Amino acid sequence: MEQLTSVASWRAFARDARDRGATVGLVPTMGALHEGHVSLMERAQRDCDVVIATVFVNPRQFNDPEDLRRYPRPLSDDLARCAALSIDAVATPSTEEMWPAYPGATATTISVSGLSDDFEGAGRPGHFDGVASVVAKLFTITGPCVAYFGEKDFQQLAVVRQMVSDLAFDVTVIGCSIVRESSGLALSSRNVRLSDEGRVVATGFSRALQLVNDGTPRDADAVRRDARAVLYDAGIDVAYADVVEPATLRRRRADEEGESRLLLAGFVDGVRLLDNGTVRVHAAKGATNVVGH
């Protein structure tokens, strides 16, 4: 396994692989690797000849300096995990290598309007500009590839797909299913900051998803209401619980029906956690077009 610490070596590694006729898989991460990341890497290994994982904590997507400071960075463990998986290369650039002007502003920013405006975009101003900008840079350095992202960050996945389409990146984006603990808690690098009690509280997210998929017909407003109630009862400080059309993230009205996505976010032990899942909504008779948030 090669560790690539510079943009030049990373670009050359990917280019040389393609020159040999190999397909390149890219797995972008911010480290603190868990089984969810492992599932992305294993999928990339099945699909592609050469796999590059990235470990880079991108400061431009954090709007809270304390959150950035506390983000886990177990690089040695991450490298060992990648080596055990026989990943071909891990790109571990420094902040200075990726953003030479940091902590000053970088002149160029990628902004994906619409998809990035609500939910995490509303709660974390500038977050998706930072995400889109760094992912664009990852794609530019790597070149033509297949990129793997987890569906836990569902809005992020939608933003990346839109950016790839709009800017014609030669990149195929693959979304991979959420990996969960036996308790139902979605795996996240932030989970290490939860207390034992907090981990129990956080299972409220998966319980909310189970409830709205219990076979009882619900319109979009009922799904929102019932999911939010489960989160509150669990002790989660709810940021949002909303039902959207999966591709556009447009909020579903109560008079609509069909496959939708329930997006959940909230705070446990002061840690912002996300979850989501598929839900089928049924049109309510006589429903208004007013959608709650």
Distance CA 1, CA 126 (A): 35
Residue pair 153/121 in contact by the 8 Å Cβ criterion = no
Number of residues in the chain = 293
Closest CA to 55 of 41, 43, 70, 67: 41
Distance CA 184, CA 193 (A): 17
Distance CA 275, CA 263 (A): 6
Distance CA 56, CA 93 (A): 7
Could you give the dihedral angle defined by the CA atoms of residues 237, 123, 148 and 158, in that order, rounded to the nearest 10 degrees? 120
Residue pair 160/133 in contact by the 8 Å Cβ criterion = no
Distance CA 131, CA 20 (A): 31
Residue pair 262/269 in contact by the 8 Å Cβ criterion = no
Catalytic residue among 34, 37, 282, 293: 37
Closest CA to 171 of 192, 141, 151, 211: 141
Distance CA 188, CA 207 (A): 17
Residue pair 261/231 in contact by the 8 Å Cβ criterion = no
Three-class secondary structure of residue 180 per DSSP: strand
The identity of residue 100, as a single letter, is: P
The two three-digit tokens of residue 269, written as one number? 């032990």
Indicate if 34 belongs to the active site: no
Distance CA 221, CA 252 (A): 8
- Active site amino acids: 37
